[in-house]
Chain A
Amino acid sequence: MPVTTINGREIHVDDEGFLTEFDEWDEDLAKILAANISVDLTDEHWTAIKLAREDYQAQGETPTIRRMASVGGVDTKKMFQLFPKKPAKKMSYIAGVPKPHGCV
Chain B
Amino acid sequence: MPFACIFVRNFPVAAIFRAEPELRAQAVAIFEGKPPLEKIYAVNKKAGSLGIAPGMTKAQAELCSGLALRPRSSLQESAAHAALLDCAQSFSPCVEDAAVGTAILDLTGMEALFGPLPEIACAIFQHAAELGLDANVAVSSNADAAVLAARGFSGVTVIPAGKEAEHLGSLPIEVLFAERCENKNNDEDKKEAALLETLSRWGVRDLRALAALPEIALSERLGRQGVCLQQLARGKASRTLVPVEAPLVFEEAVELEYPIVLLEPLAFLLNRLLEQICARLATRALATQELRLTLELENIPSLGRRPEINQQFQRTLRLPLPMLDTKLFLKLLQLDLNAHPPGAPIKKIHLAAEPVRQRSAQGGLFLPPSPEPEKLELTLVRIAGLVGESRVGSLELMDTHRAESFRVRRFMPGAQAEHLRKANDPAGAEKPSITALRMFRPPLHAAVTLENGDPARVACAKNKEVQGSVLWKAGPWRSSGDWWEREAWARDEWDIALQNESDVALYRLVHDLLNGIWFVEGAYD
Tell me whether A and B are bound partners. Answer: no
